[in-house]
Structures are given as C-alpha cells and as structure tokens.
Structure 1
Amino acid sequence: MSRTTIDPDEVAKFEAMAEEWWDPEGKFKPLHMLNPCRLDYITAQIAAQYGRDLGSEAPFEGLRLLDIGCGGGLLAEPMARLGATVVGADAAERNIPVARTHAEWSGLEIDYRHTTAEAMAAAGERFDVVLNMEVVEHVADPLDYLTACHDLLKPGGLHICSTLNRNPKSFMMGIVGAEWVMRWLPKGTHDWKKFITPDELYDLLRRAGMTPVDRTGMVFNPLGWSWSLSKRDLSVNYVTASVRPEEPA
C-alpha cells in the first residue's frame, strides 16, 4: 500500500453519516447552508485563473478537476454542470455509492473513486484544479497531505483549500455552537486542536511547493441565517487559493 495521511478515526466519523449527504436538514446541514458561499469563491477563482466567462454555457469545459474528500458530491455536481471533467475522491468508502447514485439521478457523469490523494499522486494523476474543502483539519499529517495535493496539480494549476481557524471564537462557533447547541453535527466531528490558522496554512502551502494567492473568510450571519465572503473576517471558516508554479523552460 502507498503511504497515506488518512486518519482512520476521522474516516469512520464520515462513514457513519454517509446516507445523509443529500438531506439539507440532516447531519450535513451546515455544508448545505455553506455551499453557495463556497461555490461563489471557487467559481470566481477558477474563472480568474483560466480566463473563463462564468456567463457562458459551460465555462469550465476542458478543465480537469479533482474534488478530494468529495463526500456525497455537493461540490462535484455543480462543477460538472459548469462543464469540468470531474473526479471525486474520498477515503470514506460508503460515501462513493451515495455520490454515484445521486449523480446518476442528476444525469451527470462524474468519476467517483474510493481512494486517497497520495495514491492518486503516486499513480501520476494530474489536474487543472484541486478542490480540498474542509478536509485538511481531518488528516493525520497536513504537510504530507498538501504535498500530495501539490503533486496532483499540473504546473500552473489551482488549489483551493478551506478549513477552520484555531482560536476561542472558532471553538465556540465550530464546536460548541455547531455540535453541542445546534446539533448540526455529531459531537466529536471536529477536533479543535487540529484547526489551522491562516498563517499556518499559508506556511504549509508554501512548504508543500505551492504559491498562496488569496485567503478569504466565510462568515455566518445568525440574523439572516446565511453565509457570505469576507476579506477581513477569517476568524472561523476561511478558504485559500494557491497555485503550483510553472516549471522553468
């Protein structure tokens, strides 16, 4: 077996929730609520990197995209609708048939695989875009994992990574609020000690061989019950964009 950064205990948490991926009122309600905000960021970054017009019929046509930690396909499906050739990979085996079945119902062709970033990189897989959303805080070794993500990118390719900041506010909102009070997620879904600050993530991305180009907060408004992007508030959820440098001629 190839080396892996998979944490079996973390995988088991998501295996147990696999059947609820497409239930907007189920255990993945926070992701359903967050998804429009994530998509706004992802689509804008891809369009900027590759000079695509988001108003066209299939703006991402010709781009090969990997959604690592794809879960039930909440991001993979809209990427496929925008024209990308999508591979969805997840270490939690039970997620894959859920994602495949929903894609078939939706009339979408998505290549879902039960595998790891390290295994795909070792096999020589390469992508124009790697989505790495809410995964890095669940792996055993973030640097090794991000290095595999770097290796999965073509030179000039775009890596988008979201996670949670580590501070008292993120503990109160990400764990006490989401898991203990609102019960959006089972207790123990997140380990606050594995949260990563924006500066730490930028350092990890550089050490993995990528060049960070942007970081933006994703902010929850409890009054409007909605999420929005913020360049100023990265205190809890945030997302980064980075690029694998072009190789010298």
Structure 2
Amino acid sequence: MSLADSLKAFKSERADVVARNAAHSRPANTGPISRTSTPKPSSSANNNEKRTHDAAFASSRGIAGGEIMRLVVGAVEKLKDNDFKALSWLELLRYMSLPLDLRGAKGEATFKRALQSHHRLQYIHAKDSASGQESFRYKPLHPVTNGEELRDYLARLETAQGVPVKELKDGWPDCIPTLDRLEKLGCILVSRSKKDGAPHRVYPDNPRYHITASPTNSNSKTTKSADDPSATTLQEVVKISPDFQTFYSNIRLPANDNDLRAELEKAGLTPTSAVREATLANASHLRFTSRSTAPSTKPYTTTTTPPPPESSVNHIEVSHFSALAASWWDPYGSSRLLHLMNPHRHDFLRRCLSASPPNPSQKLDVLDIGCGGGIFAESAARLSMARSVTAIDPTPECIAVAKRHQRSDPLLMESGRLNYLQTSIEELHNHTTPTANPAGTGIGGGIKQYDIITLFEVIEHIRRPYPFLSSILPHLKPGGWLIGSTIARHPVSWFTTKLLAEDVLGIVPRGTHEWSQYLMPGEIRESARREAELNTSEGLGWRTMGVVYVPGLGWREVKGSEGVGNYFFGVRKRENGV
C-alpha cells in the first residue's frame, strides 16, 4: 500500500470515529452534523442583559480574574511579612513567579493595576522611592507600632468606639505586653474578654468618656452633674459602643468628690488626667495647651514623679522624609519648592528683626528645628549677623545628607559656625551647654538659649503641635523671635497642596501633607496669647506673611492669603515685661 492510500484510509477511519462519538452525544432524530451551522443561544440567554462595564481585573488576554486575585492576595501577604518595608516592583515580580498567561508587558501591567487599586497596599512612584524604583508597601489598618503612637492615635479619635485589638495586631503583632503596661499606668482603658481576660478593645482614658450610672434608672447612659448644670452629657460628645458603656457603667461615682479617687482605685483604674496635672505642675516648659489636651480640673491628683515630656517625633513622618533625603539638595527634585521658598524665609526673618533691630555688633545664635537636609541652616550660617547655627532633625538620613553637603564649604566647617544634631527639641538639652543664668530653666536646671528659633514647614507634621510649641519656649532668649511657616487649614489649601501639588502636578511627593494637621494663623496666635512671656501685639510681637506658589514663577507674597494657604508667622518673647 502506498503512502497516499495509507493516508486516505487513516482519514476515513478518523471520520467514522468522529461521527460515532457525535451520534452518542446528541438526541435522536436530530439529523446529521452540519459543519457550517452556527450555534444559537438558548432561550434563557436571550433575556440576559449584556454587561455594560468591564469585569474587575479583566484582561484583554482572557486571564481569569480569580487567578489575578490569588496573586494579589499572595503579594499582600508577602509585603505584610516584610516588616512593613517597601519592596520594589521587580523584587515582587521575581518572588511571585507569574504564570505563563501573565508573563509579558500586558500581563504584568494588569497585575500592577490590581496591586495599585488594593486598599491595603501603598504604591510608591519611582521618583519618590529611596531606591529609585517603583515599589509597594503594606498599609496596616491603623498606623500604630508602639505605645507612644497608640496614645496619640487614641487622643485623635472622635468617637468612643475604641480600637479592636485584633486590628492593632495587623500592624503591631506583639502589642499585648505594651497594652498591659499602659493599662497598669492608667494611660489607656482596655475592655477584656469575659472568657479568658484577653484584651478586646482599647480606648483613651478621657474624662469626657466617664459614665455615671443613675441610681434610680439602671438603663440611664449618662447623667449631668448636679454641681455643674452646664456639663455636657456623653451622648452629646461621642457615640458609645455597648461594651464600653458596660465597662464604665459598673463604676458608681460617689456623691462626695473627695471619695472619687478611692472609688476609681477600687475599680483598678488610675485617671491619666492625674499624671497630666503632675506633669504641668512640675515641668514649666509644658505650657501651650488646647481643648483636646487640657488637664482635668478634678480634685484627684498624684504626687508621683512626672514622666519626661513626650517626644514630638512622629516615626511615620521620619520614615517618609528618610526616603526623600537623597534628593534634598536637588533644586529640581522632590525638595524643589523648599529651595524656591528659602529666599522668602530670610525676607520674613529680616522683617521680624526690624521691629526690634539688634545691635549691629551683636552676633546672634540661631536654632533651626526640623532642618531636613539643611537648606535654611546653611544659608543662615552664611549671614554676617549669625554667630552660630544649631540645626536639629530626628531623621538620621537627613542629618547625614546635611553634613555631607556642609563639607563642600570650608566656611561652614569653621568650629561652632554650623552644628547639625540628630535629636528632637525635647532631648536637645542633652547635646548642648546651658546658657549662663537662663531666664527659663525647667530642664535639668539650665538650658542653652537662642536669639532666633525657626521651624519651617515643620509644625504641620507634628501630631500634638501645642505641647511641641510649649517645649520650644524655654530655649528662646528674652526678646528673641520664634519664626515658622506652615499651611492654613482651608479648602483652598487642600486643593492646592493635596490635589494639585501631590496628585496632579506631582511637584510634592504624595503623602507629604495631612490636611487635618494644618493650623490656622489665629489658632497659633490664640495659643501664644495664653503665654504671659510672649508678646502677641500686631507688628511688635506678632507678624504673618502669606505666600502663594505660581507655576513657572515660584513663590510670591500675596497679602491676605495667610488664611488660605502657605504662610509665615513670627512671635516675640517679652524682654523685661515688654
């Protein structure tokens, strides 16, 4: 048999097999199979509406959405196990080992879009990344990793719902020992499981949250004090969760306020307001207060030794600026607006000093708080009126960049001319020599004081700005100026600094600012008025200057813009009561 005959016989047998299989799989009397017939949809399919939108994680290559979601979940777990450190996009790709259907530019782009849209991941653009590569970082449910951050976070809560311990563990796995310690110190309230006593929720120990159970009505949630008819009920201030209500309603407050402390101690509680009162009584450098941090006026106090002042360092902000340190001195990089702002800093400084011009022969000591990479500190050290400039910042990467840039100028290397310190204002006294007979002591019996203290673009990154400002005052000489710049909390500033600058134009790294932490000029001035040693008279002791960024032209002074955007403020410390 020839090759042609064999091939013909094979095709004939194959056709017979196909026909037999088709006959078994279709109903009888349906006729032969037509190779040219077009499949028709079922009657039920005709009633289905056509999808008018793209399916989630749909791919033009027909990749299943479930497969992409499986990869996304794996990527989230990998980033979570990476100690909340960022992983570059390339490292993540190598770890995930994508299937064949997803390999290639289109498949990888589909996977990246899925990661960027995930609410538990933070996408870091290459220009904002320390490594210069696109990266991803895991975002915990709550930005809390230690006891200090927990107390600050609870203080900012607007409801009494508390924070579930299970959610805290998402970003702070070993939080239980710290919660137990803070509860024993009376810093927080913890509701626990009745079964095994495990912590369930964490609350701030705020006097406003204390619930008085009515003797005549056990279902009463709150009662107003008979001694204080104007007292606000708890329901008017915050929303109460049921377990929190049960937790505090078990404590019957006595009619006599003198017995209040004993009742609280019987319940195993120590009010944090007592610690605050002791701190304020023994630490004269903590004087700025706000409604949210005001100490309680209850008669119960404590005579225990006050703890050291809380640090103003925000570790989340430190991490953010660490990533930007490498490009700090690039005039066209992420710090471009700071370079353009620097001349206006000196202009405003001269205006403040013109109100009370110093002796031309007198040299001034300057303290620059939150110096970053040293843009202002270097320029201030070159001024003829400057005897010394001390620049501090808690970010080690920024201080390293500043010192490296300082070495390029022999003038700045002169002994005492410019000194960089990696520290916070609360710990500065440990690194400096006290000024002879300082007017304000309060820390270790004596501290070094300065003629000018600056904090440019700093205060909006501080979680508790008023205690922070309070800790600065002892370092300022009588007659000296505290000069800063920040952003007003106004819808216009949200549009310009958040939407335009960060999200649209990209001239400021995304996540640099938090609009809710902006301060209005009136808020800073009102806090300064509470200080007897500060002069807040317009022109003589208080000054402001508004500036607006104009693309292509830079910063421009605009009178009257202080309340809607960036502005400078200056307040003078009284000298001889003036």
Distance 1:2 1:233, change over 3 A: closer
Letter in 1 for 2:420: Y
Aligned position for 1:152: 475
How do 1:45-124 residues align onto structure 2 when only pairs under 5 Å count?
45-51=352-358, 62-83=363-384, 84=386, 85-107=388-410, 108=412, 109-120=417-428, 122=443, 124=447
SS in 1 for 2:356: helix
- Residue 206 (str. 1) matches residue 529 (str. 2): yes
Q: Which of 487, 491, 494 matches 1:168? A: 491
- 1 or 2 for the larger relative contact order (CA 8 Å, sep ≥6)? 1
State how far apart, in whole Å, the 2-side matches of 1:245 and 1:105 are.
39
- Residue 232 (str. 1) matches residue 560 (str. 2): yes
Cα deviations across residues 17-74 of structure 1 (Å, max 9, x unaligned)?
1111100111111111222222211233235433467xxxxx8x61000010001111
Letter in 1 for 2:535: T
Identity %, equivalent residues: 33
Shift of 1:162: 0.7
Contact 2:366 2:390 in 1 (8 A): yes
State how far apart, in whole Å, the 2-side matches of 1:146 and 1:203 are.
13
Aligned position for 2:90: none
How do 1:180-195 residues align onto structure 2 when only pairs under 5 Å count?
180-195=503-518
SS in 1 for 2:378: helix
State how far apart, in whole Å, the 2-side matches of 1:168 and 1:174 are.
10
Letter in 1 for 2:425: A
Distance 1:248 1:30, change over 3 A: closer
Aligned position for 1:178: 501
Q: Which runs of 5+ in 2 are unaligned?
A: 1-307, 430-442, 537-541
SS in 2 for 1:38: helix
Contact 1:46 1:52 in 2 (8 A): no
Shift of 1:207: 3.5
Contact 1:49 1:158 in 2 (8 A): no
Shift of 1:247: 4.7
Letter in 1 for 2:353: I
State how far apart, in whole Å, the 2-side matches of 1:210 and 1:9 are.
32
SS in 1 for 2:481: strand
State how far apart, in whole Å, the 2-side matches of 1:178 and 1:49 are.
37
Contact 1:24 1:32 in 2 (8 A): yes
- Residue 11 (str. 1) matches residue 334 (str. 2): no
SS in 2 for 1:94: helix
Larger strand share, 1 or 2: 1
Contact 1:166 1:196 in 2 (8 A): yes
Letter in 2 for 1:211: N
Contact 1:120 1:152 in 2 (8 A): no
Aligned position for 1:56: none
Root-mean-square deviation (CA), in Å? 2.1
Contact 1:33 1:226 in 2 (8 A): yes
State how far apart, in whole Å, the 2-side matches of 1:248 and 1:232 are.
31
Contact 2:463 2:517 in 1 (8 A): no
Cα deviations across residues 149-168 of structure 1 (Å, max 9, x unaligned)?
21110111111011000111
Cα deviations across residues 192-239 of structure 1 (Å, max 9, x unaligned)?
0001111112123333553331111012223x5221223322120001
Q: TM-score, normalised by structure 2?
A: 0.40
Contact 1:68 1:132 in 2 (8 A): yes
Contact 1:150 1:210 in 2 (8 A): no
Cα deviations across residues 93-128 of structure 1 (Å, max 9, x unaligned)?
111111111112022141000011122254612100
Aligned position for 2:342: 35
State how far apart, in whole Å, the 1-side matches of 2:463 and 2:534 are.
20
State how far apart, in whole Å, the 2-side matches of 1:170 and 1:155 are.
34
Letter in 1 for 2:464: D
Letter in 2 for 1:15: S
Q: TM-score, normalised by structure 1?
A: 0.90
